[in-house]
Amino acid sequence: MDEKRATIKRPTIVLDPEALGAPAPAREAFLGQLHKAARVFAIFLVVQVLLHGLNSHYLKPDLDAIQEQSDSWAHSALARLRMDEAQKEETYLSVPDPGSALLASREYATHPHIAGSTEDFNDAKVILNLFEEHFGIIPSFPPIFPAGSPESRAATLGINKLRRPKAWIDIYYPVMNTPLDRSLSILSADGEGVKWEADLVEDGDPRDPEAAEYRDAVPTFHGLSADGEAEGHVVYVNYGKKEDYDELVAKGVNFTGKIALARYGENFRGLKIKRAEELGAVGVLIYSDPRDDGAVTVANGYEPYPAGPARNPTAVQRGSVQYLSLYPGDPTTPGVPAYANANRTEGENIPKIPSLPISWANAERLLEEISGGDARAALVLDGRASETKVKLVNHVNTRVMPIWNTMAAIPGHIKNETVIIGCHRDAWVMGAADPTSGTVSIHEVVKGFGHLLKKGWKPLRNVVFASWDAEEYGLIGSTEWAEDFPEWITDNVVTYINLDVSVTGAQWGARGSPSLAHLIRSAALDVPHPTDPSRTLWDARKDDGPFDGALDAEFEKTYEAKVHELRIGKEEVGIPPLGSGSDFTPFLQRLGVASMDQGFGGTAHDAPYHYHSIYDSQRWQEIYADPGFFRHVAVAKHLGLVALRLIDAIILPLNTTHYSLELDDYLAKVDSEDIAASVDTSPDFSVLRRSIHKLQKASRALDAEKEEAERKFKELLDKIPLWYLSVFDSEDPAANANSRLPEWLRRLLKVIYGNLPKGPVRKFIKAARRVQRANAKLVAFERGFISEEGIEGREWYRHLGVAPGKWLGYGATTLPSVTEALTFEKNATLAEEEASRVAALLDKLAETIEV
C-alpha cells in the first residue's frame, strides 16, 4: 500500500448515527442528507472513472482530493456529458472573430520584439496574462523561472498531476548576437579608395507609420553570423544551392578569396553560406530578387510598397544563418538545454565567414560591377567576377542572452496523454505575418478554449500551449525545451500542432505527419472558406492572388513544378510531409511526435511578402495579406477543430495505414530513375520493401483492433447509466437497515479498492484498458522511425522517415539517409546499408503495433 492510499480514512463508524445513539428522526435526516450527497459523489466518480478514466489513476482515486473538488469537478464532468461533440465544436467555432483578431494584431505587431529584448520579455508577460485570463488562472506570485531550476522543472514535470490550469515562463540562456557595425563598399581599382558604399538600410517610408518609426530599431544583419571583415571579388551564385556552386566549380571557378552573391529562395540562407565557406569563400551577400515575386513587379507596372503591391526595392530580409540541417537550437549546447550554467562547446552549426543581407537596390549595383554596367546581364551562372574588390564588414556582439518561453497547461482526465499547441512569438522587427499572424490565430484559439472551460468542458487529454521564443535565431526556444524534457515528451505527448505564419497570401496549405493527413483534411472540410461561404477551407488550397502579370521564365518553370509536386497523386489527401524551418522540428525530427503546420501563403499573383523586413507590418497585413482578418480566423477555427478532435477522441485519430502506404511512395522516389542515375550500380531495396509491406499488414490489423476497441467501449458506456441506477439509486430503507454502512457505500468502496462487481463495470474497465493499449500503439508509430544513432553526419536528427534536406534546410527529404547516400555520397552500397537500417526500424515497429 503506497503512502497516499495509507492516509485514506475509511468511514466505518462515524457515518452510522445509530451507533452514536442518535434519535430516529435525526438518524433518518442524516441518512437522507448522506444519501443525497453520496449520489452527487457517486455520479462524479462514475463519470470520472468510467467516462474518462482510461488509466489506473482513476481506478484508485485520492479521496481527499476528490472530496476537496467534488462539487466543481462533478459539475464539470456532468456539463461535459451534456455537451456532445457537435455542440462542443459549434461552441468553439462561435468564438474566433475577425474584429478580435484585428485588435490583437494591432497590439502585437506595432512594435519590434526581437528575441532577447526588453520588448520580447514584455510580450512574453502579455501572453502569460492572456493564458491566465482565459483559463481562469490566479497566480500567487510571478511564475517566471530560470530553466533548470526546481520551479521550472516542476512546472513541466507536474503537468500530469495538475487539477486546474497553470501558466508560467521558462527562461533559457542561449548564445545569440546583435549587430554592432556593418558596411559594404566597392573599392577603387587600387584598393585604397571607395567607389560606392551601400546604405544597408530600408527607407522607412512614412506612408507605413510603424515602418517609418522603427526603421533603425533592428539593423539589417544575419542572426548568428560570424564577426569579421572580408575583401574579395564578387561572384554571382544564383540561389547558392549546392548544385549552383557545383556547376560553377565544374566551370573552373575558384572560390578561394571570393565573396559570393546569392539570391534568397530555394534553400535555407545559412546553407548558402556553408557551401561557400567549404569552397574557400571569405564572405557572402544575400539579396531579395524581384524575379521571385511572380506577377507583382515594378517591371509589370505595379508601384512598389507602400504606394502599391510590388516589393519595396530597399526591403531587406534579416534572418538566422545557422546551419539548420546540422542541428537547431543554441549552437553551444547541442542535445542538452541551455541553462545559465550550461557547459558550452564551440558552435558547429554557425558560419565562420561574415555575411550580410542586402536589398535589391544594393544588389543591382554589385551586379553592374560584375557585368560592366547591365545588372540583368550578370544574372547568369557563368562564374564572372566583379572587376574590382568589394569590402564587407560585419561586427556583431555574440553573447549568452535570456529568452522566455511562455507556457500554459490545461489538465485533462487522461494524465499521461498530452496535445501541445505551439507558436513562436519573437520577430525580426514587427513581424505582422511572421509570427504575429500565427500568434493572433492562437489568441483566438485560447479564447475559444477558455470559453469551453467556462461552459464546463474538461478535456479528455492534457493540453499545453507554448509561446516559443528565439525561433528566428534557429528554433531555439522550442529546441531547448524539447532537449530539457525529452523523456517527458516521449512518455506523454501524443501530437504537436505548430503554427508560425498564419497569413501572407491567398492560398491555404498544410503539412504534417502522414498519420494526421486525414484529420487535417476532414477538419478543413468542416471550416467555412474565409471569404466565400459556399466553399470550405479545403477549397482554399487552390485559391490565387488578385494580381495579373507576366512571370519571369525561370520563376514560372520552378513555380509550376512546385505546384505540381504538391498536388500530383495526392488530391484525395493533399498533405505533404514536414521538413524544417519552424518549431515542430525538435518534436518530429528528434523525438518522433506526430506533428503538423498550416497557414495561408502567397502565390505568384499575390503581393510579394516582405519577409523579415520592416515592411512585414500591420499596414501591409491589413491591405494586402488579409483585409478583414478572415483568414486569421479560418486558421484559428481549423487549428481548434484539429486540436479538439485529438484531445477528446476516445481513439486518437491517427491514420497509421495511410502513413505506411506513403512509405511506398517514399521508396519509389528513392528508386526513381532520376536518383538511381546518380550511381553506376542500381541499389537493391528488396529488404526495405518487404519491411514496408510487413508494417502495412500490421497497421491494417491495428485499424481493425482500434475500431473494435472503440465500438466495445461505447457499447458498454451506454449501459453504465442503467448500472448506476441499479447500484446507487435504491430508495428502499430496508436495503440498508441492517448494515453499519449503506449498501451503496459498501459497493462504492469495493469499486475504489479494486474489488469490483461482476457487472458491466469490470467489462467497461477492460474495454477502457483496451482503448488505452490501442492509443499507445498509435502514438508509438511515429516514435518507431527514431534511430538513436541518427542520420550520419547530422546525428541530432533521428527520424529516418523524413528530415530537412541536408542542403535544403526548409524542404523535406523522405528516407533521408537512403536518399542522401545516393544523391550526395553517390554510393549504392551505403544506400543499401541505410535501407537495411530503416528496414530494421520498420520491422521493430510492426512488432510494436502488432495486436
Find the range with the poorest average confidence among 689-693, 695-699, 722-726, 835-839: 722-726
pLDDT for 547 beyond 60: yes
CB atoms within 10 A of CB 553: 8
Find the range with the poorest average confidence among 129-143, 544-558, 700-714: 544-558
* Known active-site residue 799: yes
Calpha distance 22→652 (Å, rounded): 54
The mean pLDDT of 597-607, rounded to a whole number, is 98
CB atoms within 10 A of CB 635: 31
Report the pLDDT value the prediction gives residue 762, as an integer from 0 to 100: 76
Reading the block at residue 620, the C-alpha cell is 501591409
Q: CA angle, 772 as apex, 768 and 777 as ends, to 5°?
A: 150
The mean pLDDT of 697-708, rounded to a whole number, is 98
The mean pLDDT of 761-766, rounded to a whole number, is 80
Q: Which of 833, 832, 794, 828 lies closest to 813, judged by CA?
A: 794
Residue type, 589: Q
pLDDT for 568 beyond 80: no
Calpha distance 182→228 (Å, rounded): 10
Q: Under a CB-based contact definition with an 8 Å cutoff, are residues 775 and 702 in contact?
A: no
User: What would the CATH number be for the domain defined by 658-729+737-849?
Assistant: 1.20.930.40
Domain ranges of the chain: 86-174+401-608+622-649, 177-399, 658-729+737-849
Percentage of residues in the chain with pLDDT exceeding 70? 84
Q: Which of 698, 638, 688 lies closest to 668, judged by CA?
A: 688
* pTM, full prediction: 0.89
Report the pLDDT value the prediction gives residue 1, as an integer from 0 to 100: 38
Q: How confident is the model at residue 221 (pLDDT cuts 50, 70, 90)?
A: very high
Of these residues, 467, 799, 817, 832, which one is catalytic? 799
Report the pLDDT value the prediction gives residue 30, as an integer from 0 to 100: 42
Report the pLDDT value the prediction gives residue 840, as an integer from 0 to 100: 99
Q: How confident is the model at residue 726 (pLDDT cuts 50, 70, 90)?
A: low
Q: Which of 644, 529, 512 lies closest to 584, judged by CA?
A: 512
Report the pLDDT value the prediction gives residue 749, as an integer from 0 to 100: 45
Grid cell 536589398 in the structure block, residue: 359
CA distances to 220, 288, 298, 456 from 181, rounded to whole Å, are: 10, 22, 32, 56
CB atoms within 10 A of CB 571: 8
* Known active-site residue 817: no
Adjacent-strand bridge partners of 262:
286
Report the pLDDT value the prediction gives residue 431, as an integer from 0 to 100: 99
Reading the block at residue 458, the C-alpha cell is 474538461
On average, the pLDDT of the chain sits at 88
**Buried-exposed string 445-474: b where 16+ CB fall within 10 A, e elsewhere:** bbbbbbebbebbbbbbbbbbbbbbbbbbbb
The mean pLDDT of 74-95, rounded to a whole number, is 72
pLDDT for 742 beyond 80: no
Q: Under a CB-based contact definition with an 8 Å cutoff, are residues 511 and 597 in contact?
A: yes
pLDDT for 29 beyond 80: no
Reading the block at residue 809, the C-alpha cell is 534546410
Superfamily covering domain 86-174+401-608+622-649: Zn peptidases (3.40.630.10)
The mean pLDDT of 499-510, rounded to a whole number, is 98
DSSP secondary-structure letter at 9?
P
pLDDT for 39 beyond 70: no
Reading the block at residue 560, the C-alpha cell is 509550376
Q: How confident is the model at residue 84 (pLDDT cuts 50, 70, 90)?
A: confident
Report the pLDDT value the prediction gives residue 656, as an integer from 0 to 100: 98
Grid cell 531555439 in the structure block, residue: 476
Of these residues, 94, 672, 682, 686, which one is catalytic? 686
pLDDT for 99 beyond 50: yes
Q: Which of 560, 551, 553, 622 lies closest to 296, judged by CA?
A: 551
Q: How confident is the model at residue 738 (pLDDT cuts 50, 70, 90)?
A: very low
Calpha distance 222→355 (Å, rounded): 7
More confident residue, 67 or 352: 352
The mean pLDDT of 454-465, rounded to a whole number, is 96
* Known active-site residue 471: yes
- Model confidence pLDDT, tens digit, residues 360-415: 999 999 999 999 989 999 999 999 999 999 999 999 999 999 999 999 999 999 99
Calpha distance 427→385 (Å, rounded): 35
Architecture of 177-399 per CATH? 3-Layer(bba) Sandwich (3.50)
Cis amide prior to 143 (ω within 30 degrees): no
- Looking at the chain, how many residues does it have? 851
DSSP secondary-structure letter at 578?
P
- Model confidence pLDDT, tens digit, residues 245-280: 999 999 999 999 999 999 999 999 999 999 999 999
DSSP secondary-structure letter at 44?
H
Q: Under a CB-based contact definition with an 8 Å cutoff, are residues 601 and 509 in contact?
A: yes
- Model confidence pLDDT, tens digit, residues 185-212: 999 998 889 999 999 999 999 999 999 9
Find the range with the poorest average confidence among 44-53, 204-213, 340-349: 44-53
More confident residue, 596 or 38: 596
Q: How confident is the model at residue 743 (pLDDT cuts 50, 70, 90)?
A: low
Report the pLDDT value the prediction gives residue 480, as an integer from 0 to 100: 99
Percentage of residues in the chain with pLDDT exceeding 90? 77
Let me know if 842 is exposed, middle or buried by CB neighbors in 10 A (0-12, 13-18, 19+). buried
The mean pLDDT of 70-86, rounded to a whole number, is 51
pLDDT for 141 beyond 60: yes
The mean pLDDT of 41-69, rounded to a whole number, is 41
Find the range with the poorest average confidence among 7-16, 139-148, 787-796: 7-16
Of these residues, 277, 369, 471, 820, which one is catalytic? 471
Reading the block at residue 512, the C-alpha cell is 504534417
The mean pLDDT of 45-50, rounded to a whole number, is 46
CB atoms within 10 A of CB 25: 8
Phi, psi of 450 (to 5 degrees): -60, -40
Q: Which of 722, 711, 709, 706 lies closest to 760, judged by CA?
A: 722
Report the pLDDT value the prediction gives residue 87, as an integer from 0 to 100: 93
Phi, psi of 11 (to 5 degrees): -80, 85
pLDDT for 798 beyond 70: yes
Q: How confident is the model at residue 572 (pLDDT cuts 50, 70, 90)?
A: low
